[in-house]
Structure 1
């Protein structure tokens, strides 16, 4: 059974933003010979996440508000005491809230491949969550099957 590893690169915007990466994943699958199998999609950063949900503008705004209520940027966090931490880069942001939001979501999704296409439902999309932008991010995709 072949296993193919690919990366998706994403340039994100400031603060929380949500990207529909379904088309990029489908393009990766189309570039392989895999007809039936699965794709593992993995977020490679501690302040990003993945989810399968509907990509609808008003829902995306609701999700952002929900995440900000779970971990408000203005709350006090020990991780943000940069002067008490060791070996931090000079451009280290105060981003504890972003780490906490990422923990409430997921770092990976496994999606079936059926007849060369993602086996998603009608309103499902693979969503990439930037929680601490702007940054250059990568998503790891491992495609396997026959």
Structure 2
């Protein structure tokens, strides 16, 4: 069974932003000969996440509001005591971003049928930036026949 590994690069903006990466994943699949199998999508950062949901503008705004309520940036977090640990000079106070990421997922596995992701009508693969701006990467592993 062939296995193909690829990276998707995502430049992100400040704060919480949500990117529909379904087209990029489909491009990864199209670049292989695999017609049936699965795609593993993995977020390679501790302040980013993945989810499958509807890519609708107002819903995406609702999700951002919901995440900010779960882990408000203004709350007090021990991780933000940067003076008590060794960190790079540009280390942000981002405990809230780590906590938001824990409420989502770091990976998704999606079936591939006839060379396409077997997503439902309104489903998209969404990449969540929770601590931007950054240059991010998503690992895609495609396997099958």
TM-score, with structure 1 as normaliser: 0.99
User: Where in structure 1 are there 5+ consecutive unaligned residues?
Assistant: none
Question: Which residue of structure 2 lines up, in the alignment, with residue 137 of structure 1?
Answer: 136
Cα deviation for residue 112 of structure 1 reads 0.3
Cα deviation for residue 4 of structure 1 reads 0.2
Cα deviation for residue 83 of structure 1 reads 0.3
TM-score, with structure 2 as normaliser: 1.00
SS of alignment partner, residue 60 of structure 2: helix
- Following superposition, which runs of at least 4 residues in structure 1 exceed 2 angstroms of deviation? none
User: Where in structure 2 are there 5+ consecutive unaligned residues?
Assistant: none
Cα deviation for residue 53 of structure 1 reads 0.1
Cα deviation for residue 134 of structure 1 reads 0.3
Cα deviation for residue 33 of structure 1 reads 0.2
Matched, 1:80 2:51: no
- C-alpha deviations, 1:10-32, integer Å up to 9, x for none? 00000000000000000010000
- RMSD over aligned CA atoms reads 0.3
Show the 5 A alignment for 1:24-39: 24-39=24-39
SS of alignment partner, residue 38 of structure 2: strand
